[in-house]
Structure 1
């Protein structure tokens, strides 16, 4: 198969490598333009660009799949377009440019969590099962027929980043199998069944911890926004990032904070949460117990 691949972040790299390993003719890798990273804002190529260069695949950098990109892809006369977390929409006439159109690896069990942040939204919502789907790209968002899917349990302590890494590897194998079935003509797609839910892109407020929610919901939110955009609260008005937390038992009012020498606890609507790793404003990550011992006075208020 003559393929064009579109993807940008690290979770797309296993799929690119899996397709290359199967011997497909990868004509182009389309990815977002180099982005400024780190404190010095150094322009850095995307993980897909780096992997494509290692594999000897020509890279096209573009933040929008516009007419110029469409013409460049059409010149390769691809059999199929494959997209994994590119970060932009495929519209006509590009949608119909490859002979078999485009397929998308999406990290949810469609139609649940269509959209930009399916893994994060699944964890925040308390889903205990998730998966990955490969579907035919159509004009409507993530609504095409599904060629294949895999289902995985959501580990109790997994962050969104950790779960996405796991899905990226398992999903790459699924994607490669679907492409092989399209190549030999055995692929069968089925319509999505059920009511869709939508995984809108996360903003900073999604990371704000609501201590008046039950313990389970608080922990799910913390894990669901880790590593991005990150969980945070305020302590006497100052921002505090919460990088890791765990469950505890006991009675503590929502938003009340207390230290017992070894642990730092914050109350929720049910049992309290233990702060494990935190990052105060302007400082690096540290054990919550060390942060607590370094305070001159015990905090009077945790923002809800």
Structure 2
């Protein structure tokens, strides 16, 4: 089949690679325009744009598919099917209708649970033991279309970035299987179950990454993993400066108090509402990542120093 691929971040690249290597033809790639990044805030093409250009594919960079110009370019491709993985913009109904078989989407949650932009992060934050990647028929509603394929994925003690990377690799072959089934006429999609009462997986922001430790240790652990690497976890030092936090380990022990720091030669612990967390990597303001014990020895904080705040620091 003649395929359009739409995606933007690194998590979309494994599926693009699978389609490029398949018997189908990727006739064009849709992706978001270059974004500013790095210390110099220079414009950087999306990972999907870079991969597509390296493969010699036609790249259409667009932040919206609503303009007549972009819609006209998509229609002119005369595609059989469009495949979406984290493109980052809604597809208008008129554009959904252009490919002969419509659009399919790889979504990283067990639909209908966690519809929305950040399903992996919310799965970890909620303490889900497992999730799934779903390939579904894209329609006007938000992640509401019938599902062609569902692949269960157990959630380990991993960050959102690590889980997303793993699911992106697994989902690539899953998408290709669905594309092949659509091509030979054997694909069957099953309507989603009633989603009443299920929460929306909104995009997380910097406020969601603020850690005040006023929660049980396992909940603090989950929140830090859920926001890593983006938007990132941080807390406040006693002097009000920020301290970035990498992944932690929950420790089943008596808490010395919410946010109370315990520094020894080999570890740094922080008290939670119940239990403690053992810090891994940390990054003080203006400095790079370092092991928490090395930071703790050099920080020379007073005994009983408290990290975080329940009222500010966001």
TM-score (norm 2): 0.94
Give the superposition deviation at 1:297: 3.0
Query: Where does structure 1 differ by over 6 angstroms across 4 or more consecutive aligned residues?
Result: none
1:241 corresponds in structure 2 to 244
Matches within 5 A, 1:118-157: 118-155=119-156, 157=157
1:110 corresponds in structure 2 to 111
CA contact 2:216–2:272 (8 Å) conserved in 1:
yes
2:20 corresponds in structure 1 to 20
SS at match of 2:246: strand
RMSD: 1.2
Give the superposition deviation at 1:32: 0.7
Stretch of structure 1 that moved more, 33-42 or 111-120:
33-42
Q: Quick check: 1:301 aligned with 2:314?
A: no
User: What runs of 5+ residues in structure 2 fail to find an aligned partner?
Assistant: 310-314
1:212 corresponds in structure 2 to 214
Give the superposition deviation at 1:180: 0.5
Q: Quick check: 1:267 aligned with 2:267?
A: no
1:97 corresponds in structure 2 to 98
2:5 corresponds in structure 1 to 5
CA contact 2:5–2:28 (8 Å) conserved in 1:
yes
CA contact 1:111–1:197 (8 Å) conserved in 2:
no
Give the superposition deviation at 1:138: 0.8
Stretch of structure 1 that moved more, 108-117 or 37-46:
37-46
SS at match of 2:231: coil
User: What runs of 5+ residues in structure 1 fail to find an aligned partner?
Assistant: none
CA distance in 2 between partners of 1:291 and 1:281 (Å): 12
CA distance in 1 between partners of 2:48 and 2:267 (Å): 41
Give the superposition deviation at 1:300: 2.7
1:192 corresponds in structure 2 to 192
CA contact 1:239–1:281 (8 Å) conserved in 2:
yes
